[in-house]
Amino acid sequence: MKKIAAVFMTLMILLGLSACGSNAKQKESGKSINNKATTQEKEIVKNEDNETNNILVAYFSATGTTKTLAGYAAEYLNADLYEIVPKQPYTDEDLAYYTGGRADKEQNDPSIRPAISGSVENMEKYDTILLGYPIWYGQAPRIISTFLESYDFSGKTILPFCTSHSSDIGSSDTDLHSLAANANWLKGKRFASDTSKEIIKKWLDSNELISNADSKVGVFDFKSHTVMLNSGYKMPIMGIGTYSLSDDECYNSVTALLKSGGRLIDTAYMYKNEAAVGRAIRDSDVKREEIFVITKIYPTQFSNPEAAIEEALEKLDIGYIDLMLLHHPGDGDVEAYKAMEKAVSEGKIHSIGLSNWYVEELKEFLPLINITPALVQNEIHPYYQENDVIPYIQNLGIVVQGWYPFGGRGHTAELLGDKVISKIAKAHSVSSAQVILRWNLQKGVVVIPGSSNPNHIKENLDLFGFELTNDEMKQINALNRNEKHDWY
């Protein structure tokens, strides 16, 4: 905080501004643009048509700047607007910088919780909350902490935004995560005081979760064959895994996948085929933004995760990485994860997650990081079902993906030839492979079967012309042997 504040202070001195000096102008703009939002008695302003939807724009604004932008967002989203009004309003004196005044004191003491006048009625009806605040010495004002601790945000999505004189959002948003730990926090954004309606619209449009508020995190959409991640990005629910595929095999398999309409590819540093994945993508006719690439960094890379991220970006050579995972727990995994968090803020990676993390590992790891993983990839097949782990992860708003769907090489004949699975396959006129993949999808598990056979690749995408009955799901569930096919 000291560093941000010092940079900010230097800028203010250079520009000859003070907090009080900028107030008048900001107050004017706040009033003229969003009259609705100025009423403090009625804190929630219903959208124009008096219809309500599931988005609330909640904001605190001491001098009107954040209020204006919150008004733009609420108007565009047709959302309700709630002003977080302090019981004791902030005077110009309270806001004056470095005077030891009220704002200074509050920001210097993380335990302070300024009281709020009024409250949000029916918070339970909102799925998504846009949370706006001004930056105060690099942080969100403490009244935002009061707000976050006043409600249960479990399962709700929070999208923070802030206004500032010059500072970026920094860690002001991620610092808030622990105050509503069970919410799905999206990456926040900072805006300048002269931000236009158009810029706010563009920002909201670019955030799929908000622009398509019907999409619920973690719920599979069997029409579009995608799932919304807690990061705000959509991911296909079926694709291909590239473990053990040589460079040429991998290139051909990814090419076959893209030709057959598949868009999800799983690779890793350890598979030594990231470059082939990238080459196949660049050589295809499919637009980059339609493709979703997962790669992983290996524990041997955790000592220099920044270099590992750069290496993956270079080898793939497809601009950005859609999702990067830590391949296994290991020494330095927290620091490696934090390096991925930084790469997210730099736009190099869209989403981040973990692989081979089970309940105990997650319990230990999650409190140590800022961005909730978007996905956890673990071994899952009919003989190793992880029935306790899957719901635990899903309840955290994290998508589950299964590796070794056919049991992995050396086990596929037994699994694909399993009597129960074969009988169900026959009943639907599909293959055993398709039954296993569909069983995963109906459990909410994303599938990435490995294959170097174009016919298999095509077949493995063809999962939506049949549905397993409850009884068939139960029959496959009963095959669980807790039989792990690899050590991790």
Ligand X SMILES: Cc1cc2nc3c(=O)[nH]c(=O)nc-3n(C[C@H](O)[C@H](O)[C@H](O)COP(=O)(O)O)c2cc1C
Ligand Y SMILES: NC(=O)c1ccc[n+]([C@@H]2O[C@H](COP(=O)([O-])OP(=O)(O)OC[C@H]3O[C@@H](n4cnc5c(N)ncnc54)[C@H](OP(=O)(O)O)[C@@H]3O)[C@@H](O)[C@H]2O)c1
Q: CB of 405: closest distance to ligand Y in angstroms?
A: 5
Task: Name which position in 55, 56, 58, 62 contacts ligand X (CB under 6 A).
Answer: 62
Query: Binders of ligand X: how many residues, by CB under 6 A?
Result: 27
Alpha carbon 408 to its chain's center:
29
DSSP state of 159: E
- Binding residues among 192-211 for ligand X as defined by CB under 6 A: 193
- Separation between Cα atoms, residue 378 and residue 358, nearest integer Å: 8
What kind and span of H or E run contains 260? none
Q: CB of 237: closest distance to ligand X in angstroms?
A: 41
Structure tokens at 1: 């905080």
- Binding residues among 252-271 for ligand Y as defined by CB under 6 A: 266
CA-based Rg of the chain, rounded to a whole angstrom?
Answer: 25
Type of residue numbered 230: N
Indicate the pairing of strand 189-191 with strand 157-163. Answer: parallel
Binding site partner of 87, from ligand Y, ligand X, none, Cβ cut-off 5-8 A by kind:
none
Q: Cβ-closest residue to ligand Y?
A: 450
- Separation between Cα atoms, residue 250 and residue 331, nearest integer Å: 30
Q: Residue 184: name the closest of 156, 207, 211 by CA.
A: 156
Binding site partner of 165, from ligand Y, ligand X, none, Cβ cut-off 5-8 A by kind:
ligand X
Q: Sign of the CA dihedral 228, 234, 239, 240?
A: negative
Type of residue numbered 344: V
Whether 277 and 296 have beta carbons less than 8 Å apart is answered as no
> Which region among 134-142, 145-153, 231-239, 434-442 touches ligand X (by CB under 6 A)?
134-142
Residue 322 interacting with ligand Y (CB under 6 A): no
Distance (Å) of CA 448 to CA 171, 231, 259, 414, 482:
34, 20, 16, 19, 21
Task: Name which position in 238, 407, 463, 476 contacts ligand Y (CB under 6 A).
Answer: 407
Residue 146 interacting with ligand X (CB under 6 A): no
Residue 135 interacting with ligand X (CB under 6 A): yes
82 is catalytic: no
Residue 459 interacting with ligand Y (CB under 6 A): yes
> Which region among 158-166, 202-210, 278-286, 475-483 touches ligand X (by CB under 6 A)?
158-166
Residue 412 interacting with ligand Y (CB under 6 A): yes
- Binding residues among 427-486 for ligand X as defined by CB under 6 A: none
Q: CB of 253: closest distance to ligand Y in angstroms?
A: 8
Type of residue numbered 257: L
C-beta of 78 vs 246, nearer to ligand Y: 246
Task: Name which position in 18, 54, 166, 171 contacts ligand X (CB under 6 A).
Answer: 166
Task: Name which position in 246, 452, 475, 480 contacts ligand Y (CB under 6 A).
Answer: 452
* Residue 332, phi-psi category: left (phi > 0), alpha (psi -120 to 50), beta (remainder): left
- Separation between Cα atoms, residue 434 and residue 118, nearest integer Å: 55
- Binding residues among 236-255 for ligand Y as defined by CB under 6 A: 241-243
* Residue 432, phi-psi category: left (phi > 0), alpha (psi -120 to 50), beta (remainder): alpha
- Each residue 26-45 as x (binds ligand X by CB under 6 A) or -, in order, gives x-------------------
Residue 172 interacting with ligand Y (CB under 6 A): no
Residue 406 interacting with ligand Y (CB under 6 A): yes
Q: Residue 438: name the closest of 412, 403, 476 by CA.
A: 476
- Separation between Cα atoms, residue 444 and residue 48, nearest integer Å: 38
C-beta of 252 vs 345, nearer to ligand Y: 252
- Binding residues among 109-148 for ligand Y as defined by CB under 6 A: none
Residue 448 interacting with ligand Y (CB under 6 A): yes
C-beta of 166 vs 244, nearer to ligand X: 166
241 C-beta neighbours (distance < 10 Å), count? 25
- Separation between Cα atoms, residue 407 and residue 415, nearest integer Å: 7
- Separation between Cα atoms, residue 375 and residue 394, nearest integer Å: 9
Residue 137 interacting with ligand X (CB under 6 A): yes
Catalytically annotated residue among 82, 271, 337, 404:
271
Binding stretches for ligand Y (CB under 6 A)? 241-243, 266, 327, 355-356, 377, 403-409, 412, 416, 431, 433, 448-453, 456, 459-460, 488
The set of catalytic residues is 271
